[in-house]
């Protein structure tokens, strides 16, 4: 409407001549719902259950950590004498109990196959660095996987951008019914929101069965109608990838057979004799003097308690209620230095404990090979457990070391800040404080008066005395049992020097074998469900060609081969389901071509409208793009002026898609139509009710799934 002009002058009015445009929405933004090591941005746990957008593997590792290390990889080393020379054969087996959390590896596959921006929803954490309200997942059987995944799916519902839904860790679900119920929930969300698509895995695979039962199970368990099935595609089989396992070197066990020169006994005995527990303990707590306790622990206690060394400037806990203690100046910094030395000595003692465990377990492994030695093994195991308790039990060495390490770091930070209140609190007032942690290592007898002897001299260090005593008992038991003597001369006749050890323990002693084992572990194929790789393929094809191009006849990166070799005949029953139409797309290996995605159907394989993945996903894109662009017309006058603008906007967008090759037809008029108007798509009653009805028809290109070449003879004409 023209403005009411009242003041003489020149006025400018801008007249809108062009229709608004439709911006194409993203088409391949997957949401990965599963388990991560952590979920932290700035504060521990601040990304728990929050769909978080990332664009690279580096971002994933920064916010969500890495894979859970494997702990059940076993190595068998066999030494054989051939022509007087020793030949070593190394065989590494797949983890006997593989960790079920595959999110990290799945992200590697996604980015390797062309993936870009995506969302991560952490429904549980298996790492150690968690917030106090989080619970570390130790055993997947102890948690309700379905509840976690369902909550993650609900979290994704609240975010508009994701267009693909995946569950990399869903194969951890032990029940077929529960597994496919989860995918049914995802398909229902896709049907409701109409802007996303689900990539479905089979729960498992059977490489030995000519007709894998997992195919029939998928078709039986997903019982939704075609209105839901058109929003998902299934891929089969699982893939052997070149990705490397993350593993704990100290949990990789070695079996070493050497018939010609069994050295296990000699090596164990020599290594045990080289371990000096007494020296490690003495550096912390030396009670060799008649009256005084020495060592790094004594130095810390002196600064915490002694009236002689503390004085007014010290940290005198005898005068806890007085105001004479001074937390300024050099005294707290001196305490920090003493704590650093104590922590170093405690760490050295813990390292000695680790070495003892290596030798004890090697001895146990060697003896377990002989049935007659069962009682001896039990004796060593019991004494080793008692020894370890002195380190691992509540308020013992390792727990104190961990807590004291954190407190020492905090103390230094507060010293640097000059915050005397926080210095005082971290030393003696906080719930977790230095005084309390030190008191777990030594029991202090306070003097009746400052004139008496310093309390450090009366300290009770039973914990360290117990370590020495327990070690002596354990060592005697091991050396006695593995020693070559009349009573066990026939034991351990074929165990090599590495038998019963862990990979981490041989890194320095036999670096050559260590690296050979690492190579063999790196050669183990890591099997993953195909969904994450397919999400990457979707993103790559969308970027290179367009969402209208079928994501098929495309190679896969980081894949050695499928776990099941699907033949031409096998795929007939996968691609076409005559009973319910639930097509399953095969991933196949072809000679000279590599591993290709060889299927492009949705689960609605018998539906002529929604048979192909590319058609469904193009409609998702077009519907969402036009929907968002049309929101500006809500509450505009429902008249011809608005109808013309809306129609022109949609016409322009679909013309662009036609030019890109997404719509079939020699002209735009043959490729699509847009209708809107009174007497065309609406009645007068529709207008009265506030409805603007727009009909859009699109002839989306469809993949040439079957190329049929017809040959015939032709008569000679000349």
Tell me which residue of 638, 641, 630 sits closest to 682, measured CA to CA.
638
243-247, 459-463, 549-553, 637-641: the lowest-pLDDT one: 459-463
Whether 282 and 151 share a structural domain: no
DSSP one-letter string for 366-418: HHHTSGGGHHHHHHHHHHHHHHHHHHHSTTSHHHHHHHHHHHHHHHHHHHHHT
Domain boundary (571, 598, 625) is at: 598
Checking if the pLDDT of 296 tops 70, the result is yes
SS3 category, 238: coil
Range of the structural domain that residue 479 is part of: 262-495
Residue 543's SS3 state is: helix
pLDDT in the model for residue 451: 46
What is the DSSP secondary-structure string of 620-684? HHHHHHHHHHHGGGTTS--SHHHHHHHHHHHHHHHHHHHHHT-B-SSSHHHHEEEEESBTTTB-H
Residues 51 and 407: their CA atoms lie apart, in Å, by 34
Last residue of a domain, one of 453, 472, 495: 495
pLDDT, position 488: 44
What is the per-residue pLDDT for 300? 81
Q: How many other C-beta atoms are found inside a 10 Å radius of the C-beta of residue 129? A: 13
Which one is predicted more confidently, 19 or 681? 681
- pLDDT tier for residue 312 given thresholds of 50, 70 and 90: very low
Beta-strand pair 594-598/584-590: antiparallel
Please compute the mean of the pLDDT values over residues 597-603 and round it to a whole number.
Answer: 97
Decide: helix, strand or coil at residue 31.
strand
CA dist 631 and 196 (Å) reads: 20
User: Does the predicted TM-score (pTM) go above 0.75?
Assistant: yes
Verify that 329 and 435 share a domain, yes or no.
yes
Residue 215: Cβ within 10 Å count = 22
Residues 366 and 284 in one domain: yes
Note whether 79 and 496 are within 8 A (CB).
yes
Residue 290, pLDDT above cutoff 60: no
Q: Is residue 435 part of a domain?
A: yes
Radius of gyration of the chain (CA): 36
- Candidate ranges 69-73, 259-263, 319-323, 507-511; pick with highest mean pLDDT: 69-73
Shared-domain flag, residues 350 and 409: yes
Most confident of 7-21, 278-292, 586-600: 586-600
Q: What is the DSSP letter of 505?
A: G
Say yes or no: 230 and 175 in one domain: yes
377 and 469 in a common domain: yes
**Stretch 514-543: mean pLDDT:** 96
Whether 239 and 270 share a structural domain? no
Q: Say if 510 falls within a structural domain.
A: no
* Same-domain check for residues 146 and 279: no
Mean pLDDT of the chain: 87
Q: Which of 479, 495, 511 is the last residue of a domain?
A: 495
665: alpha, beta or left? (left if phi > 0; alpha if psi -120 to 50): left
pLDDT at 287 over 90: no
Domain contains 116:
yes
Question: Are residues 63 and 160 located together in one domain of the fold?
Answer: yes
Q: Tell me: do 638 and 571 sit in the same domain.
A: no
Sorting pLDDT into bands at 50, 70 and 90, what band is 328? low
Which pair of tokens denotes residue 49?
């259950």
Q: Where are the beta strands (DSSP E) in 492-620?
A: 526-528, 554-555, 559-562, 584-590, 594-598
Residues in the chain: 718
> Tens of pLDDT along 231-255?
999 999 999 999 999 999 989 999 8
* C-alpha to C-alpha distance for 489 and 265, rounded to whole angstroms: 11
DSSP 23: P
Is 509 a domain residue?
A: no
pLDDT at 444: 64
333-370 pLDDT, tens digit per residue, is 888 888 999 999 999 999 999 888 888 888 888 777 65
665 lies in some domain:
yes
> Which has the higher per-residue pLDDT, 255 or 686?
686
**What one-character DSSP code corresponds to residue 235?**
E
The CATH number linked to 240 is 3.40.50.11780
> pLDDT of 24-66, one tens digit each?
999 999 999 999 999 999 999 999 999 999 999 999 999 999 9
Q: In this structure, are 417 and 474 located in the same domain?
A: yes
With H, G, I as helix, E, B as strand and everything else as coil, classify residue 120.
Answer: strand
How many angstroms separate the CA atoms of 149 and 182, rounded?
Answer: 8
Question: Which pLDDT belongs to residue 486?
Answer: 37
Q: CA–CA distance from 221 to each of 126, 164, 180, 183 (Å)?
A: 30, 21, 6, 10
What are the pLDDT digits (tens) for 373-407? 455 678 888 889 999 998 988 888 899 999 999 99
Residue 149 and residue 75 share a domain? yes
Strand partners, 200: 234
**How far from 467 is each of 24, 238, 313, 363, 390, CA to CA, in Å?**
69, 50, 36, 20, 7
pLDDT for 306: 56
Confidence (pLDDT) at 311: 34
410-427: per-residue pLDDT in tens?
988 888 888 888 888 888
| Residues 638, 634: Cα–Cα separation, whole Å | 9
Statement: residue 621 has pLDDT above 80:
yes
How many independent structural domains does the chain possess?
3
Q: Helices 640-660 & 613-630, crossing angle to 10 degrees? A: 150
Compute the distance between CA of residue 79 and CA of residue 86 in angstroms, rounded to an integer.
Answer: 6
d(CA 526, CA 202): 17
- Kindly give the pairing relationship between strand 594-598 and strand 672-676: unpaired
Question: Are 583 and 577 within 8 A, CB to CB?
Answer: yes
Q: How far apart are CA 146 and CA 167, in angstroms?
A: 11
pLDDT at 409 over 80: yes
Evaluate whether residue 286 is within a structural domain: yes
In a domain, 366, yes or no: yes
Q: How far apart are CA 573 and CA 586, in angstroms?
A: 10
pLDDT, position 645: 93
| Residue 322 confidence (pLDDT) | 44
Q: What average pLDDT does range 178-183 have in this prediction?
A: 96
What span, in angstroms and rounded, lies between the C-alpha atoms of 476 and 480?
6
Q: Is the pLDDT of residue 301 over 80?
A: no
Q: Which of 18-32, 72-86, 590-604 has the lowest mean pLDDT?
A: 72-86
The pLDDT score that the predictor gives to residue 555 is 96
Give the list of residues 6+ apart from residue 590 with CB closer than 8 angstroms, or none.
596
Tell me whether residue 359 is in a domain: yes
For 528, what's the count of Cα atoms within 13 Å in the CB-facing half-sphere? Answer: 29
pLDDT band at 141 (very low <50, low <70, confident <90, very high): confident
User: What does the CA dihedral 270, 274, 278, 280 come to, rounded to 10 degrees?
Assistant: -140
Q: Is the pLDDT of residue 455 over 60?
A: no
Q: For the residues 682-692, what does the mean pLDDT come to?
A: 96
Residue 160: pLDDT band with limits 50, 70, 90: very high
H-helix or E-strand spanning residue 64:
helix 57-64
165: pLDDT strictly greater than 80:
yes
If you average pLDDT over residues 84-93, what whole number do you get?
88
Residue whose C-alpha is closest to residue 41's, from 22, 65, 21: 65
Q: Given a cut of 60, is residue 277 above it in pLDDT?
A: yes
Most confident of 139-143, 569-573, 699-703: 699-703
């Amino acid at each position: 409407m023209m403005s009411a002009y009242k003041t003489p002058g020149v006025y400018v009015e801008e007249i809108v001549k062009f229709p608004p445009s439709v911006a194409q929405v993203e088409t391949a933004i997957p949401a990965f719902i599963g388990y991560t090591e952590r979920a932290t941005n700035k504060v521990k746990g601040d990304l728990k259950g929050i769909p978080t957008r990332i664009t690279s593997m580096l971002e994933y590792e920064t916010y969500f950590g890495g894979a859970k290390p494997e702990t059940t990889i076993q190595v068998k080393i066999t030494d054989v004498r051939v022509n007087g020379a020793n030949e070593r054969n190394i065989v590494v087996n797949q983890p006997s109990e593989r960790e079920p959390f595959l999110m990290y590896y799945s992200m590697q596959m996604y980015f390797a196959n062309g993936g870009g921006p995506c969302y991560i929803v952490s429904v549980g954490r298996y790492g150690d660095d968690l917030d106090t309200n989080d619970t570390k997942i130790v055993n997947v059987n102890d948690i309700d996987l379905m509840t976690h995944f369902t909550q993650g799916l609900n979290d994704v519902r609240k975010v508009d951008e994701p267009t693909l839904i995946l569950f990399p860790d869903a194969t951890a679900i032990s029940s077929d019914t529960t597994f496919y119920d989860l995918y049914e929930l995802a398909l229902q969300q896709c049907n409701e929101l109409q802007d996303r698509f689900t990539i479905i895995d089979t729960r498992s695979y059977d490489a030995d069965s000519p007709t894998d039962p997992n195919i029939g199970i998928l078709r039986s368990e997903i019982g939704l109608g075609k209105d839901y099935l058109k929003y998902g595609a299934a891929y089969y089989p699982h893939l052997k990838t070149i990705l490397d396992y993350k593993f704990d070197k100290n949990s990789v066990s070695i079996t070493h057979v050497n018939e010609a020169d069994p050295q296990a006994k000699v090596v164990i005995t020599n290594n045990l004799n080289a371990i000096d527990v007494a020296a490690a303990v003495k550096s912390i707590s030396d009670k060799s003097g008649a009256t005084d306790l020495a060592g790094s622990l004594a130095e810390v206690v002196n600064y915490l308690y002694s009236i002689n060394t503390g004085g007014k400037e010290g940290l005198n806990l005898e005068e806890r209620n007085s105001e004479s203690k001074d937390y300024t100046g050099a005294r707290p910094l001196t305490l920090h230095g003493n704590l650093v030395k104590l922590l170093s000595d405690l760490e050295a003692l813990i390292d000695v404990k680790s070495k003892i465990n290596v030798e004890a377990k090697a001895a146990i492994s060697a003896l377990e090979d002989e049935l007659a030695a069962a009682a001896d093994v039990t004796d060593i195991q019991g004494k080793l457990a008692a020894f370890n308790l002195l380190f691992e039990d509540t308020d013992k060495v390792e727990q104190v070391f961990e807590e004291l390490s954190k407190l020492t770091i905090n103390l230094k930070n507060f010293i640097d800040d000059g915050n005397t209140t926080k210095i005082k609190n971290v030393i003696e007032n906080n719930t977790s404080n230095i005084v309390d942690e030190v008191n777990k290592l030594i029991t202090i007898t306070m003097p009746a008066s400052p004139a008496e002897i310093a309390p450090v001299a009366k300290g009770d260090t039973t914990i360290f005395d117990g370590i020495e005593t327990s070690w002596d008992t354990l060592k005697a038991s091991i050396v006695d049992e593995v020693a070559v003597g009349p009573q066990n001369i026939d034991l351990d006749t074929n165990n090599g020097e590495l038998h019963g050890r862990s990979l981490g323990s041989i890194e320095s002693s036999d670096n050559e074998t260590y690296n050979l084992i690492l190579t063999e572990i790196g050669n183990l194929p890591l099997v993953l469900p195909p969904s994450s790789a397919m999400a990457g393929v979707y993103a790559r094809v969308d970027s290179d060609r367009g969402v209208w191009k079928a994501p098929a006849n495309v190679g896969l990166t980081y894949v050695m081969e499928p776990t099941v070799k699907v033949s031409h005949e096998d795929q007939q029953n996968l691609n076409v389901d005559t009973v319910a139409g639930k097509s399953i797309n095969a991933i196949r290996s072809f000679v000279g071509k590599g591993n290709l995605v060889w299927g492009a159907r949705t689960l609605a394989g018998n539906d002529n409208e929604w048979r192909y993945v590319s058609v469904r996903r193009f409609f998702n894109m077009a519907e969402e793009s036009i929907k968002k662009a049309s929101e500006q017309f809500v509450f505009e006058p429902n008249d011809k002026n608005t109808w013309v603008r809306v129609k022109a906007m949609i016409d322009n967008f679909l013309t662009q898609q036609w030019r890109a090759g997404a719509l079939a037809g020699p002209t735009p008029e043959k490729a699509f139509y847009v209708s809107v108007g009174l007497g065309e798509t609406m009645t007068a009653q529709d207008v009265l009710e506030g409805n603007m009805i727009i009909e859009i028809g699109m002839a989306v290109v469809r993949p040439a799934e079957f190329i049929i070449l017809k040959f015939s003879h032709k008569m000679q004409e000349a």
